[in-house]
Amino acid sequence: MEKIGLYIHIPFCHSKCAYCDFSSYAIGNAQNENAINRYIRALSNEMDLYEETLRNVEIETLFIGGGTPTCIDGKYIHEMINHLKKISNISETVEVTIESNPGTITNEKLDHYLSAGINRFSMGLQTTDNALLSSIGRIHDFNTFVTSFRAIREAGIKNINVDIMFGLPGQTLENLHHTLDTLIELSPEHISAYALKLEEGTPMYEAEKKGLIHMPDEDLERTMYHIIIEVLKKSGYNQYEISNFSKKGFESRHNLVYWKNKPYLGLGLAAHSKMEQVRFSNETIMSRYLEKIENGEKPVIDQVVISEREDLFETIILGLRLNEGLDIQKINERYGIDFYSDNEDIINSLRHQGLVQMTDDNLKLTLKGIDLSNQVFLAFMND
């Protein structure tokens, strides 16, 4: 039975961060129960539309993302997962992750999450500096994060990821070191570290365009990234992917589905899927998404058949993000090719530039290669 990852999108937040370009809606503190209830009902109906698929695969990971799934009443998440269990085949060892923001966790919600089988939390800290948090539009301060983190831990959750950001306007190396040192003391099992990239149309993008904020230069951003790698390595975190670090055995199994180019199904507004060599995505406008679901129609707006060559390229690019690199033997078996012979000139050129290395029949990025990863990817793309 084929194993897949399942993603469910909850597009609601208390407020939208100044750098966010995800499909999400700010509902404020006075929650719009009708809108939430209608959306959760639509999600269950969308599951029903995929019932045949969900019964014929094994769900090995479930990721509930957003938005901020924990900003809505916990009963909605509980009901949604219970409905999924009735119509699908879920692995006994399934990893079930829910994204959360500090200040959106209560004991009542935690009871719902644990009863539903959620066993992993992913929470956005970004930085311990309250002034920086405010400047990027986060609604929490550091103390709120600590309170939420401890509540999750005390509820018995033994697998917590924390997101941090670097390359923030006004962020210093001292800020970054303080964030890392403080986070290491809390000892989450997993840490994701992302450089801030300003997307067109977001408030921070407009502010930078007007000269109201100034992003760190590329050299400072790279220095910050190297500090993160060094500090986390010394503290027992293994960097297993370009942006992700974990204690042994706590790698994100869901994200590994993506990085190993395995099949996944996405449900909800603007969700993306890749099943049976077909990539497809859902409606990005709420009214259209709801209308299609309520008419008994899958809310798919874009569908593309992936050629074997394109799939191979994706496997190469995604696999090179992993520190274990590309297992050349497995690629040869999967695609019926001789990967090294087919790409010998490219590989030798990249090795000469110090961007990749070969280890035990694996092709890996060097630290320099990670810094210049787009250059490596383009080399394979232009082949």
Give tens-digit pLDDT for 57-83: 999 999 999 889 999 999 999 999 999
Q: Do both 15 and 83 map to the same domain?
A: yes
Helix (H, G, I), strand (E, B) or coil at 373: helix
Q: Do both 199 and 348 map to the same domain?
A: no
* pLDDT tens digits for range 362-376: 999 999 999 999 999
**What per-residue confidence (pLDDT) applies to 200?**
78
Q: Do both 329 and 237 map to the same domain?
A: no
**Is residue 289 situated within a structural domain?**
no
Q: Do both 245 and 126 map to the same domain?
A: yes
**Is residue 295 situated within a structural domain?**
no
**What per-residue confidence (pLDDT) applies to 381?**
81
Q: Give the up-direction half-sphere exposure of residue 242: CA atoms within 13 A in the CB hemisphere.
A: 19
Q: Do both 209 and 354 map to the same domain?
A: no
**Is residue 346 situated within a structural domain?**
yes
**Is residue 91 situated within a structural domain?**
yes
DSSP-derived secondary structure letter, 27: -
**Is residue 160 situated within a structural domain?**
yes
Angle of the 373-381 helix axis to the 308-320 helix axis, nearest 10? 160
Q: Do both 125 and 216 map to the same domain?
A: yes
Domain end among 238, 259, 280: 259
C-alpha closest to that of 63 among 151, 186, 154, 161: 161
Domain end among 230, 259, 288: 259
**Is residue 266 situated within a structural domain?**
no
Range of the domain at 353: 308-381
Q: Do both 243 and 324 map to the same domain?
A: no
What is the rounded average pLDDT for all residues in the chain? 92
Q: Do both 106 and 226 map to the same domain?
A: yes
Report the CATH number that the domain containing residue 217 is assigned in CATH. 3.20.20.70
Report the CATH number that the domain containing residue 350 is assigned in CATH. 1.10.10.920
**Is residue 332 situated within a structural domain?**
yes
Q: Do both 155 and 39 map to the same domain?
A: yes
**What per-residue confidence (pLDDT) applies to 125?**
95
Q: Do both 317 and 220 map to the same domain?
A: no
End-to-end CA distance of the chain: 35
C-alpha closest to that of 363 among 337, 325, 316: 325
Q: Do both 164 and 62 map to the same domain?
A: yes
**Is residue 232 situated within a structural domain?**
yes
The total domain count for the chain is 2
**What per-residue confidence (pLDDT) applies to 197?**
83
Question: What is the CA angle 320-328-359, rounded to 5?
Answer: 75
Q: Do both 126 and 218 map to the same domain?
A: yes
Residues 77, 112 contacting (CB under 8 angstroms)? yes
Which regions in the chain score pLDDT beneath 70?
Answer: 14-31, 383
**What per-residue confidence (pLDDT) applies to 17?**
59
